[in-house]
Each structure stands twice: as structure tokens, then as C-alpha cells.
Amino acid sequence: MKIIENKTVKEKAYFEELDNGLKIIIIPKENTNKKMAIIGTKFGSIDNHFINPKTKEEETIPDGVAHFLEHKMFEQADGTNSLDTLTALGVEANAYTTNDHTAYYFETIDNFEPAFKELLNYVFHPYYTDENVEKEKGIIAQEIKMYADDPISKVFLNALQCMYNICPVRIDVAGTVDSINKITKDTLYDCYNTFYHPSNMILAVCGNLEPEYILNLIKDNMKYYDKQEKIERIYPVEKEEILQKEKEEEMEVSIPAFVIGIKDKVEETDIVKKELILNIILNCIFDENSRLFKDLYEKGLIISEPDLEYEYSDIYSHMMIFSSSKDPEKVYAKFKEEVKKLIREGISENTFTRTKNKIYGRLVTSYNSSAQIARIFMRDYLNNIITFDYIEKWKEISLDEVNKMLKNKFKEEKMVLSVIKPKK
């Protein structure tokens, strides 16, 4: 196995790729009782148009298939449910679907080996019937309606729909009631056989475990797979311009919720360094120590530090700022004023150093948790990133680079505001 060590965080990661293409990351971590295993496939809600690598034919699938597949993976042909099996072993297990990947995981102190075998068993042995697919449609339809009534989900989705014209990131991960009703057993098997091939997947394990033991356990519990060519995904060409500047809805909330979105350009660049710089900028503008936050807090316009996010994939890139305020429009106006002022004056050396060290602290403390380590290594490796690179790239970032990116990326014409207000 290839070994990469980072002396700053005092961690080693073991990398291996099996003959079937499955990529494996094992991060041994002594002095911890918790063990985490997570397997992810690069198949999310945006992957609805592709060339089937086996048939070489172009396929378009209904929205929500990746999420639907996630729901159906636990049900087994013998009538058992793997989630129940894992719970009976005393482990915490679950799964999730995002815009660009789906993942299945468990965390435990005891019974790691039987839980790990169960994880590999259900992920690589799907079971779909006409009956269980039809039954699941009703369950997912209720989930779709629930999230449609959730103000937090809605305010984020509306921000995406303001920023993007035709990019599939603007579609809800679960799809719509109409789109999931088009999904059949054959749809699920076709997408499973395409996207759940080991060559499109990453398995990460972290805990007080021997790498050779884990690798042998994987090999002993993997069935044979033929080689598969790389999946050719087809995405629409997104405009650089936003679709609309603002979107407002009324829902059952006591105080308005808002998201400020900033659309970015997808580009060939050092994505690790770019992500670090953008997170530094977002925190310089709007963390709890910033000039803007202190001003808004003193005026009673905001009551807690906003959530600050940068998200990207092969086809989208954007920043989001989420919080609550009695006057989101005034907060948005103040935000735009502060951005212009910082572009004009430049972020100060003191602010840059403080914020850069804050980001570094987050990077280092993320290595305290086995669950967090496994999750971030899996997610990063799906994007062809070695997680240790964030620690190394952090050292290279300069104030000049930060101020240059501030000018290039925080343009008012790329900003949107999504607001959920209380019903009148």
C-alpha cells in the first residue's frame, strides 16, 4: 500500500486500488475507541445524463434517482433490512445523497468486523422489485413534501435557483413527486450497474485498526467485477450570469431566514488553495470577529454568526452565507457595502493573520474525530484530492492572493439574495 504521512497532524494514510478499481484509504488512529467506515460513489443528483459505459448509448434518467437508490440499498432479498442488522450490532449507521455523490457509513466501538461485512454486503448486492420500488415512491414523495415545507431547505434551494440557469444543481436532490414516479426497477438496476461499479467508488476506514487486516477483510468480501471504462457524464453548459437577483417566499417562520449566494466560475485551478482562500475571505467579511458582524449585531440586525460555505464540483462553484434577521434586505445591503470597502482598502494584515490561523485550527482539530477523518478523506478523494494537502497549501497562502481573489470573485452582479419571511 502507498503510505502518505503528514507530520504536522501526525497522521498516516494508506492508499490502495484493487484490480476491480475500488480505491481504498485506511487511516490508522491509535488512542481512540471509535471506528468509522464509509463508502462513497460519485453519483449524485446532478448525474442525470450520461453515456452508459457498457452499451455506449446516451441515457437521460429522471431527477432523484441517486437519492432513490440510496433509500433502496438497505433492503435485502432474504427479507432483512441492513440498517436493522447494523443497529442490532450496536453501531450507528446511515447514508446520504448530495449533488455529486452518495455515501453509506457506520461508526462503532464494538463489532467492527461483522458491521463492515454487512456494509460491503448490502452496498454490492442490490435488491429491487417492482413492488418495493412502488412502495418506496410513496415514502420518498412524503419526504419531498416535508422538505418543501422546511424553510431552511427552501431558502437554500431558492438561492441555487437564483444563481443557476440550467445547471442541475438547481434541482432538489430528491427530485420531484412527478420525476420519482417515472423511476422503475430497471432504472435503478441500470444506474446501479453504471455508478456503483467499484471503479467509481472510494472506501475509507479510520480507527485503531491494522491496515493489512482491513485490506484483507475487503478482499475477502468483494465479489468479482469486470473492468469498466470511465463514465462519460453529459452536463448542460451553464451561463456565467445569474438567473435572477432575488427570490422571496412566505412560510411558517418566526424570524426571516436568508441566504446570500455568490456564483463563481468553474475553472482549472488549484482547488485546494482556492477553497482555503475563499473560506478565509468569507470569514474575514462575516465571522463573529468581523467588522460587519459586530456592526449588525450591535444594531440588532443579526443574532448569531452566519454559516459560511464554499461548494464546488465539476460543473458548479458558489459561496453561500446563511443566517436569520428581522431585516435581511438591510443585512444584504450592508454586506455589499462591506465587500466594496474591503476591495477598495484591502483586507488588513491583522485580520488576514487572525482568520488564516482560525481556518488552520479547524483543519487540525478535524483530525480529532475518526468519523470526521474518514468522511473528509472519502469526499476529498472523490474529487482527486489528498486531504493532507489542505494543511500544506495553508502554509503557502499570502495576503496578496487573498485580496486578489476578493476582487475577482466577490462581484455584485454575481450575488443573489434568497429570503423566507413569516406569513402575513
Catalytic one among 70, 107, 238, 338? 70
Q: How far apart are CA 199 and CA 231, in angstroms?
A: 10
DSSP letter assigned to residue 306: P
Q: How far apart are CA 372 and CA 38, in angstroms?
A: 10
Q: Which residues contact 168 (CB under 8 A, 6 or more apart)?
A: 45, 46, 48, 63, 99, 235, 236, 315
Closest among 39, 44, 24, 99 to 231, alpha carbons compared: 44
70 is catalytic: yes
Note whether 112 and 207 are within 8 A (CB): yes
Note whether 123 and 196 are within 8 A (CB): yes
Determine the Cα angle at 188 with ends 182 and 191, to 5°. 115
Note whether 264 and 319 are within 8 A (CB): yes
Bridge partners, residue 250, by sequence? 421
Q: Are strands 415-422 and 307-312 parallel, antiparallel or unpaired?
A: unpaired
Closest among 202, 205, 169 to 385, alpha carbons compared: 202
Phi first, then psi: give them for residue 329, nearest 5 degrees. -65, -40
Residues with a catalytic annotation lie at 70
